[in-house]
Amino acid sequence: MPRFSRLLVLIGLAGLFGLVVAYAVLGYLRSMRQERGIATHAEEIFRSPTSFVAGNPKGDVSVVAFLDYNCPYCRQDAPELARLIETDGKVRLVLKELPVLGKDSEEVARIALAAAAQGKYFGCIRGCTPSLAVRPRPRRSASRAS
C-alpha cells in the first residue's frame, strides 16, 4: 500500500507541475499577443489625431490613458497622471476617450472631443477633475421640497 500511495503522490505532483508550466506558457503567449497587438496598432494608439496629448509632446516616454468619465478607477488615477506630467518633463501623456459605462459616458466624451476641436480639451478635463465624472444631482426629499 505505501508504494501505491507514493505513486499517487508522484502522479499528483507531476500533474501540479504540468498545470504550473501550462499557466506560465499561457501567460507568455498572452503577453506576446498583447505586444503584437500594440505593435500592429502603434500609430493609432500613440499618434492618433483624435487623441489629446498632455505633458511633453516630444517626450521620450509615452503613457496612454483610456478614460471613461464615470469610471471610478479613472477618477482615482487622474491626480496621479496629472502629477506624472508635472514632475517628469520627458513624459508624453496620450489621453483616449473610451466611454464604456453608458450613455452619460458617451455624452461627456463627445463634449470632451468637441472641446478638443476648439483647443480646450485640457480645460474641459480640468473642469471634470478631480472627480472626472458627471455625477447626478441628488434628488430632494419630499420634506425638503415643501
DSSP per residue, 23-64? HHHHHHHHHHHHHHHHHHTHHHHHH-TTSEEEE-TT-SEEEE
45 forms beta bridges with: none
Q: 112 in a domain, yes or no?
A: yes
Q: Are residues 105 and 72 in the same domain?
A: yes
**pTM (global) more than 0.75:** no
Q: Are residues 62 and 11 in the same domain?
A: no
Q: For residues 103 and 86, what is the distance between their CA atoms, to the nearest angstrom?
A: 32
Q: For residues 35 and 73, what is the distance between their CA atoms, to the nearest angstrom?
A: 24
Q: 140 in a domain, yes or no?
A: no
Q: 9 in a domain, yes or no?
A: yes
Q: pLDDT of the chain along its 146 residues, tens only?
A: 577 788 888 888 888 888 898 989 988 888 888 888 778 877 777 777 777 888 888 888 888 888 888 888 887 888 888 888 888 889 888 888 888 888 988 888 888 888 888 877 777 766 665 444 333 223 334 444 43
Q: Are residues 52 and 71 in the same domain?
A: yes
Q: Are residues 88 and 122 in the same domain?
A: yes
Q: 136 in a domain, yes or no?
A: no
Q: 30 in a domain, yes or no?
A: yes
Range of the domain at 26: 2-40
Q: How many domains does the chain have?
A: 2
Q: Which residues contact 81 (CB under 8 A, 6 or more apart)?
A: 63, 65, 93
Q: Which residues contact 38 (CB under 8 A, 6 or more apart)?
A: 45
Burial 82-104 (b: 16+ CB within 10 A, else e): bebbeeeeebbbbbebebeeeeb
